[in-house]
Amino acid sequence: MSPAKCASTNIPGPRHENDLLYIKTDVHTGRTYHATDDIPVGSTVLRASTPYTYTIWKQFRNEVCAECWRYEGGRRTFLKQRDDIGVTNPAGGANRMIRNGTRVETIGAGLWFCDEGCQGAWIAREGMETITLFRVLEEARRKKEEGKKKPNPLEAAQITADIVDQAWTMVCDKEKNLKERKKWRNLQLDNFETDMARYVLLALIHLRRELEEAWIPSQNQQTQATDACIRRNLPTDGRHDLRFWGATWNDFTTLQHNELNHLRTYPKLLEDQIRIYKVLKGRFAESNSSMSDHKPVGPADEGVNREEEQNHGARPGHHQGDGIGKTADNGDMLMDLGSAITIDNVRAIFSVDPGNSFGIWEVPLTEESECLGFAVYPRPSFFNHHCSPNVNKERYGRGLAFVTTRSVRAGEELCISYGHAEGMGWRQRQKELREGWFFECSCGKCIVDMSTVDEGT
């Protein structure tokens, strides 16, 4: 059977871009992009206007627009709007609450915007409730970083699949104890953990919308999203922007999982991930009486694709109860994330990050550019790596465009360079790809360079 073209696999983008690509699936390399016909140099073969989930590191958060990711080397004067201030209440009432009869400032959601246009576009896509959820999460951020870190009990050599499963099984067992779960609401996270928790929370919010199938953007939201597309020189169907450019939870979680390799490289992450799960469960689960475990789906889970679950180990989770939300300290109703916050789902979100995420780099890209955060775009993640790529990634705002660097023949695989490996020598490239993406590169350039190195030794 011939591989399906992008038009039949729902790859988003203008039709002329759809017709340039098709997907092939290989047992070793997974899904890969190939040219449908001869493609001239300088052709845009794929675009994605927004990621499925992302995070901006805290040290840059009040220097970066949360919508267009504009960054001016640490300057902040261009950021005119914050969170939802001016949207719900011109006086900024959304950032205040009543305590003991006194109106006090609440913790911010950590969102800054260039102007009302960027603020409106972000809210049109993510929703006002996401700002409230971010505020609740930011309350878990430790006010002062601990001076001395606790030693990590696990070393890389000790990390096995069984060890990881056992650690999460212990969490599942503790979760059944009401007193233990109540403690989780008061757990605190350091800056790195909170930033990673924001990445996880945003993915869970998007999943929950899919489960509810109830989020229908208003005409005003459609208009704001369309305006945002126009400003970023994108096709003007705002629905693409609101729906994460066609990506779904299934697209996101069926990307290659790199949990074990990642934890072996950074053993402390297992402890971090478990603490993040506890905080999310403690603060956002609607009811602690209905438990969600991390075992395979049971017979009650109707409509679940069991083959996909066996292959990928993650599921959206099924509804428990009537979906009533909980109330934040400031009186806002929170989205009920209880059925979405499962061990399987959180592990899947963490597993997708390494090897699939794109760094959010300061542009124009130079050797001194700052890495402001990272984002996962499911469709662009199908691109494989080559040390002499025929496609280059270009960031425009929060979107990505993939442009051919040379003429490409029909049927040829389309590849990008992961990180900045193409500018390195062979030994350095191999080290970079092995440690950052967990594979030994055997592309044509590496084969030639390896033979040259061997001849010189």
What would the pLDDT profile of 300-316 be if each residue is shown by its tens digit?
343 333 333 333 344 34
Among residues 175, 163, 161, which one has the least CA distance to residue 293? 175
Q: How far is CA 273 from CA 140, 347, 411, in A?
A: 15, 8, 41
pLDDT at residue 410 is higher than 70: yes
3-50+378-452: CATH architecture: Beta Complex (2.170)
Residue 94 DSSP label: G
Better-predicted residue by pLDDT, 137 or 317: 137
Report DSSP letters for 17-84, one per residue.
Answer: HHTTEEEEEETTTEEEEEESS-B-TT-EEEEESS-SEEEE-HHHHTTB-TTT--BBTTB-TT--EETT
H/E stretch holding 454 reads: helix 444-456
pLDDT at residue 389 is higher than 80: yes
pLDDT at residue 245 is higher than 90: no
Q: Which residues contact 302 (CB under 8 A, 6 or more apart)?
A: 318
Q: Are 415 and 380 in contact (CB under 8 A)?
A: no
pLDDT of residue 436: 79
Among residues 396, 89, 356, 78, which one has the least CA distance to residue 232? 396
pLDDT at residue 80 is higher than 80: yes
pLDDT of residue 247: 84
User: pTM of this prediction?
Assistant: 0.79
pLDDT of residue 328: 53
Q: Is the peptide bond before 40 cis (omega within 30 degrees of 0)?
A: no
Burial class from Cβ neighbours inside 10 Å (0-12, 13-18, 19+) for residue 156 reads exposed
pLDDT tens digit sequence for 354-376: 889 999 999 988 888 999 999 99
DSSP reduced 3-state for 106: coil
pLDDT tens digit sequence for 418-430: 877 777 888 888 8
pLDDT of residue 113: 98
Q: Which residues contact 70 (CB under 8 A, 6 or more apart)?
A: 64, 78, 114, 397
End-to-end Cα distance, the chain:
47
Q: How far is CA 364 from CA 70, 71, 118, 298, 369, in A?
A: 11, 10, 20, 50, 8
pLDDT of residue 227: 57
pLDDT at residue 266 is higher than 70: yes
Sign of CA dihedral 177, 179, 185, 186: negative
pLDDT tens digit sequence for 92-126: 444 544 444 544 456 899 999 999 999 999 999 99
**What b-and-e string marks burial along 242-281, b requiring 16 or more CB atoms within 10 Å of the CB?**
bbbbbbbbbbbbbbbbbbebbbbbebebbebbbbbbbbbb
pLDDT of residue 13: 40
- Cα 100 from Cα 350, distance rounded (Å): 40
- Per-residue pLDDT, averaged over 139-153, amounts to 73
Sign of CA dihedral 241, 277, 191, 357: negative
What percent helix, strand, coil does the chain show, rounded to 5?
A: 40, 15, 45
Among residues 242, 216, 215, which one has the least CA distance to residue 227? 242
Q: How far is CA 172 from CA 210, 318, 321, in A?
A: 25, 17, 20
Better-predicted residue by pLDDT, 241 or 191: 191
Work out the mean pLDDT of the chain and round it to a whole number.
Answer: 78
**Residues carrying CATH 2.170.270.10, the chain:** 3-50+378-452
- Cα 79 from Cα 313, distance rounded (Å): 41
Q: Are 244 and 50 in contact (CB under 8 A)?
A: yes
Residue 8 token pair:
């039949």
Q: Which residues contact 54 (CB under 8 A, 6 or more apart)?
A: 199, 202, 360, 373, 374, 375, 376, 398
- Cα 118 from Cα 424, distance rounded (Å): 37
